[in-house]
Structure 1
Amino acid sequence: MKCYELQGPNGIDGLALVDKPVPEPGEGQVLVRLKAATLNYRDLLTVKGGYGSRQKFPLVPVSDGAGVVERVGPGVREFAAGDRVIGSFFESWLSGEPSADKMSRALGGSVDGVLTQYRIFPRHALVRTPEHLSDIEAAALPCAGVTAWSAVVKFGGIRPGQIVLTQGTGGVSLFAIQFAKMCGARVIATSSSDAKIERVKQLGADFTLNYKATPDWGKKAREWSGQGVDLVVEVGGVGTLNESIRAVRIGGTIAFIGVLAGPPPSDSRLPLMVMQQQRLQGVTVGSVEDLQAMAEATAVHKMKPVIDRTFAFDQAKQAFSHMESGTHFGKVAIAID
């Protein structure tokens, strides 16, 4: 089989296409023939060595993949050859609260990922692919989809009529818009591109802001919403946290996910967060149970992930470069088979 491998934090050019034998599934294991993968910003950081001591080398990168069961090992009754499946981001986090042990096996980081033609999964880490989704679409679910689900549904507890603010047009943010609308919420979406703003309107965004043209977007979002928004899906990190705090209502929540916007400003508004009893909730993907719940909701509502562009397997480096450019709208995909 062919797979991509990193020998060290050598950047996109360090991705090497190598040959390895197809592994055999053991007790309780499933051999999956990967059909598709999608990229997250975390995958780009991993290729560049941004995960430090948590990374192993050599490493097969990328966490999010979907495929078809090739064969199963002894004791596996849940799956059979031909079943379409997706793998959980954390292989050992089945349900409940996170822990160091549960989060110790993260695909494409501490263990090999899915940028390969075949991979062994433990049976408990697989979820059936929703029937209405293609393999490319299903491959968008494990990281970005579950992260947005955790932010909006699991921790945000969003209900009809509430207001969610999203940042940018990456995978997590677009999923967050879709899940918020699924819950009956109104959405404020921000972007630096007027062209992308027109596209998020088509996804259902009720109010939009160009954060370059409107640097005080948090204040504007608060004015539009009245008393402030119920939830901010914060993918920028400390660089955008001040405006998120300004946007959130008293008692509201900031789901803190990303690190995209650089260093924190000098005029921190953290004291305002205290005075308004806001909640800062860290979100790191979720469990197999969360993936299952999200997949079921996606199937009921026939919701489809937004795919920006699909690259061939031998174009994996171009896929990473395209993501690095920041011009994408939604998920960047790689067709493996």
Structure 2
Amino acid sequence: MAQLIPKTSKQWTVTAQDGEDGFNALQFSEEPVPVLGDGQVLVKFHAASLNYRDLIIPLGKYRLHTVPNVVPGSDGAGTVIAVGKHVTRFRPGDKVVTLFNQEHVGGPLTAEASRSGLGGGLDGTLRSVGAFNEQGLVRMPENLTPVEAATLSCAGLTAWNALHGLADNQVAAGQWVLTQGTGGVSIFALQFAKAAGARVIATTGSNEKAKRLRELGADHIINYNETPGWGAAAKELTGGVGVDHVVEVAGPKSMAQSLAAIRIGGVITIIGFVAGPAEDQPGFLDCLLHLCTARGILVGSRAQMDDMCRAIEANPEKLRPVVDKKLFRLEELKEAYEYQWSGQHFGKVCVQID
């Protein structure tokens, strides 16, 4: 059956990135549907999800490449409604999920590919219809709803890369993994680690959220408000050896604790800085003295995302994405931004798109 192609797309744009207008820099409008290129796929979105990066772009705090008046959002799931004449990977009716860095198909990330992030360097997913290069999409796992699948592009793939991205140091059964907080990346990392047979130490500042983490399989919970030296406490839980992997999302304020927790030869994957800057942070000698690998990543490749989606389909219950109980409509995007910024959420904040 032929797909109905709308003439217009409802969308948000980031009209300023200097922080002066806050989230009021987000503007909603209805625009003509993009002209489809020969190698492009036209996607009707059903859902999107938010990341910390989306919030800090209009606040002027994002340090990587962005363009003016960009359509925000890197994460989206939808249905293909049209394809260009040279497209071979998809056909109308296929269910797809967006890739964060549209040009990172496989192998190490290049400088050029790092500038192809949706919602930053390229128009993103917080719209009803969008055109994308066929190389920048993957098939949606069959066992997920569009809302669940819309959480995979950034948080899911980042956590997968953190634990599986080093060929000679992937997470394995019996190892220890340390996660921080209850945001999307940390919860995905907990799930991926447990699916691999690893033991997880999770930190949180909320006893209520600690209960949820335990329900998801965390072996040990440390409340960082009650235990400021949580890095040493985590290491003690391993028998004094230290954890094998730290998924570092908080940034400079927590890196000293991550170093205190890591074992010799362990890996600290540096992902973000949700806790903000710190006046006193570890330096060169701290990393040297702990004899570990500190590795920065920017999400992951399409090849890794394909691997992750296959794992999710093979483990439908263990790896079902955790979506926050509060769901927003596309027209309520500013409220969704405010809600995530408040820190009330558990898991991914999602937007349903009609």
CA separation of 1:117 and 1:267: change in aligned 2, threshold 3 A: closer
Q: Which runs of structure 2 are paired with 1:1-337 in the superposition (5 Å)?
A: 1-9=9-17, 10-51=21-62, 54-155=65-166, 156-226=169-239, 227-264=241-278, 266=280, 268=282, 271-302=285-316, 303-308=319-324, 309-337=326-354
Contact 1:162/1:229 (CA < 8 Å) preserved in 2? yes
**Cα distance change of structure 1 residues 265 and 161 upon mapping to structure 2, 3 Å threshold:** farther
Instruction: Give the Cα separation in 2 of the matches to 1:216 and 1:130.
Output: 40
Q: Measure the CA separation in 2 of the matches of 1:2 and 1:272.
A: 49
Structure 1 Cα separation of the partners of residues 58 and 94 of structure 2: 31
Shift in Å, 1:12? 1.2
Verify the 8 A CA contact 1:245 1:273 in the aligned structure 2: yes
Q: Distance in 2 between matches of 1:168 and 1:269?
A: 24
Letter in 1 for 2:171: I
Q: Is the 1:171–1:331 contact (alpha carbons within 8 Å) kept by the matching residues of 2?
A: yes
5+ unaligned residues in a row in structure 1: which ranges?
none
Q: Which amino acid aligns with 2:320?
A: K
Q: Is the 8 A contact 2:252 2:281 kept in 1?
A: no
How many equivalent pairs are there?
A: 337
Q: Choose 281-290 or 162-171, whichever is displaced more.
A: 281-290
Give the structure 1 partner of residue 5 of structure 2: none
The offset of 1:273, in angstroms, is 3.0
Cα offset for 1:225? 0.7
- 1:33 alignment partner, SS class: strand
What secondary structure sits across from 1:47 in the alignment?
coil
Whole-angstrom distance in 2 between the partners of 1:330 and 1:268:
29
Structure 1 residues 87 and 163: alpha-carbon distance in aligned structure 2, compared to 1, 3 A threshold:
same
TM-score (normalizing by structure 1):
0.97
Q: How far off its partner does 1:27 sit?
A: 0.8
Aligned partners of 2:43 and 2:78 also within 8 Å: yes
Q: Could you report, residue by residue, the CA deviation over 1:192-229 in whole angstroms, capped at 9, with x for unpaired residues? A: 00000110001100000000100000011011111110
Which segments of 5 or more consecutive residues in structure 2 lack a partner in the other structure? 1-8
1:152 counterpart SS class: helix
Runs of 4+ in 1 over 4 A off after TM superposition: none
- Residue identity in the other structure for 1:70: I
Counterparts of 1:15 and 1:104, CA distance in 2 = 22
- Aligned AA (2:301): S
Change (3 A) 1:3 1:131: same
Give the TM-score taking structure 2 as reference length: 0.92
Q: What amino acid maps onto 1:146 in structure 2? A: L
Cα contact 1:242–1:269 (8 A) shared by 2: no
Residue by residue, what CA displacement relative to the aligned partner does 1:170-198 show, whole Å, maximum 9, x if unpaired?
A: 00000000000011100000000000011
* Cα distance between partner residues in 2 of 1:301 and 1:38: 22
Deviation sequence 1:273-330 (CA, Å, 0-9, x none): 3123111011110111111111111111112110002101111111000000011100
The Cα shift of 1:99 comes to 0.9
CA contact (8 A) 2:65 2:115 kept: no
CA distance in 2, matches of 1:105, 1:60: 13
Shift of the alpha carbon at 1:52?
Answer: 5.4
1:5–1:16 CA contact under 8 A, matched in 2: yes
> Secondary structure at 2:208's aligned position in 1?
helix
Contact 1:242 1:270 in 2 (8 A): no
